[in-house]
Structure 1
Amino acid sequence: MGPSTETIEVAGERDDPSVRLFCTDSGGDGPPLLLLHGLAGHCGEWDALAARFTATHRVVAFDARGSGASTRRPGDVSRAAHVRDVLAVVDRFGLDAGQLTLVGQ
């Protein structure tokens, strides 16, 4: 069985509209692992690796704003906006920030 998927909404700041983030939750036991794709990528690039890590970790990935199945043309693409997105995903999936490992490419 593949990962479950969910689209979450992240509120924008000031006049910036909210964005939708497409997320995958591969499940798994153990400390959380959040996979962040590279520039112009999408979370599906992590599927094979995510499947391998579910034996030891809870694995979540998402399409960054402007990528994949997330909002394609967000108003705010700043570093701060991307950080807010990561924090929103951590919160939505109840990932323990004290044990969280971020993996990016």
Structure 2
Amino acid sequence: MMRTIDDVVELRRWAEMRGARPCRDASTGRLVLALAGDVCDVCDVDWGEWETTFVLWRCAFVYDDAPGAARYFIGPAEEAHAYVERELAASCARHP
């Protein structure tokens, strides 16, 4: 099931429980959480910078809470809403 977090304290707790570190995508500047074992082009940042940017950009964090799932999205609320809509549509297409 898809869940949404917009509280940085709750989000940080979620990330730290999974061994994620706060990052920015080197090519786009977008916020990223690098999960344990992730191989991606990211620049590590500290939690203070990451959380401040998350709040200033009015971001939302959407994730799949199914066991073993690693799908997530970080971005402005409008983009997060569109992400959820796409994921739901894809899920309905897979399970008619």
Q: Output the TM-score relative to the length of structure 2.
A: 0.30
Structure with a larger share of its residues in helix: 2
Q: Output the TM-score relative to the length of structure 1.
A: 0.28
Q: Which has the higher contact order (CA 8 A, sep 6+)?
A: 1
